[in-house]
């Protein structure tokens, strides 16, 4: 059993070594991105593992097929950087990773607090020795109605953490969970839009929910609403969001993800021209907090994603099935 891991960060190396030994898998690592010419050198490998630094498109998948690589895993929960339909057509199996929900849930609550307490402009002022309070009056989380869209593992974890703040909790999910009903009230999505002071997204991206936060739905929201997204960038129509911030209908935004972040987030781009005007424009607002897709980034989660990636390929090759495989 032999696996090649691409885009390996320094913080992943210990986990790769540990799980390779534990699972009896030979691994080879590189910090480089996956390129077609690399794939042609992968003779004898059973699978490869990647991150989201580069889209795994038809060209790369064709090269994998030509090299008889039958499995690819991504060390991420999200997988929209891989052309799943084309991979299925070629017979290439695809796995993703998972991790405990606590890290993202904690980060989500932190985003809420940073936005509510206007910490971004407060930090700006400190940099020029301005310690005034004017314009920095915030809101208390405990006095807010928080609407959670998506009550899977992360959404539930956010709800549980918010119970200690005393805020009113409502939720929307097409598949309600009985365990949630003890701490939050399920409502239809329009009611959630209309009545929430804070709206937090915790759903996977599909074509059906692309731009669920759009001009029409923003218009239903309370004036001054806080929108939080630590899920997927494609859930939010950035053009509509910018207009809503400019009109002051949306009071604040805190997002760990943004559409078209691939090639920008998780990269050192200090001296580069960033070709994402929407992100650059959105970032300049004092009431908008953008973080670089790091809600997942804890020691626990990094270890879990490496383990899932190696284990998924091993299980598919040896048994034909894996709980980590993405089923279409």
The residue annotated as part of the active site, out of 75, 93, 202, 232, is 232
Q: Are 100 and 304 in contact (CB under 8 A)?
A: yes
| Residue 53 is a catalytic residue | no
Pairing of strands 198-201, 145-149: parallel
Rg of the chain (C-alpha set): 21
Nearest to 109 by CA among 290, 249, 230: 230
Short-list 51, 60, 57, 35, CA closest to 96 = 51
Residue tagged active-site, from 75, 202, 293, 324: 293
**Is residue 262 within 8 Å of residue 81, measured between CB atoms?**
yes
256 token code pair: 């760990």
Distance in angstroms (rounded) separating the CA atoms of residues 74 and 52 = 8
Contacts by 134-140, CB closer than 8 A, 24 or more apart:
139/197, 140/116
Tell me which of 261, 307, 315, 325 is the catalytic residue. 261
Q: Which residues, 6+ apart, have CB-to-CB distance to 125 below 8 Å?
A: 131, 132
Residues 125, 270 contacting (CB under 8 angstroms): no
234 is catalytic: no
- Distance between CA 159 and CA 183 in Å, rounded? 7
Q: Is 119 in contact with 316 (CB distance < 8 Å)?
A: no
Query: Would residue 208 show up in a list of annotated catalytic residues for this protein?
Result: no
What residues act catalytically?
A: 232, 261, 293
């Amino acid at each position: 059993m032999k696996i090649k891991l691409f885009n390996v960060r320094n913080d992943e190396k210990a986990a790769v070594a540990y799980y390779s030994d534990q699972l009896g898998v030979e691994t080879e690592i590189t910090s480089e991105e996956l390129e077609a010419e690399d794939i042609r050198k992968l003779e004898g490998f059973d699978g490869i593992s990647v991150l989201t630094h580069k889209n795994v498109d038809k060209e790369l998948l064709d090269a994998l097929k030509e090299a008889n690589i039958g499995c690819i895993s991504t060390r991420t929960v999200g997988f929209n950087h891989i052309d799943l339909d084309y991979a299925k057509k070629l017979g290439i199996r695809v796995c993703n990773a998972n991790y405990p929900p606590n890290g993202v849930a904690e980060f989500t609550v932190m985003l809420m607090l940073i936005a509510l307490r206007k910490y971004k402009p407060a930090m700006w002022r400190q940099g020029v020795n301005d310690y005034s309070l004017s314009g920095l009056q915030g809101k208390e989380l405990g006095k807010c109605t928080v609407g959670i869209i998506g009550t899977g593992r992360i959404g539930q974890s956010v709800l549980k953490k918010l119970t200690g703040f005393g805020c009113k909790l409502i939720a929307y999910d097409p598949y309600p969970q009985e365990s949630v009903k003890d701490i939050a009230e399920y409502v239809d999505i329009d009611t959630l839009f209309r009545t929430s002071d804070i709206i937090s997204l915790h759903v996977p991206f599909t074509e059906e929910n692309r731009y669920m936060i759009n001009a029409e739905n923003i218009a239903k929201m309370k004036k001054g609403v806080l929108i939080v997204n630590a899920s997927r960038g494609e859930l939010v129509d950035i053009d509509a969001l910018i207009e809503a911030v400019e009109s002051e209908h949306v009071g604040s935004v805190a997002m760990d993800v943004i559409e078209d972040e691939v090639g920008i987030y998780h990269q050192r781009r200090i001296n580069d021209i960033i070709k994402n005007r929407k992100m650059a424009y959105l970032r300049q607002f004092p009431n908008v907090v953008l973080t670089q897709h790091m809600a997942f980034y804890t020691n626990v989660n990094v270890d879990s994603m490496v383990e899932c990636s190696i284990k998924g390929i091993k299980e598919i090759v040896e048994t034909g099935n894996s709980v980590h495989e993405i089923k279409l």
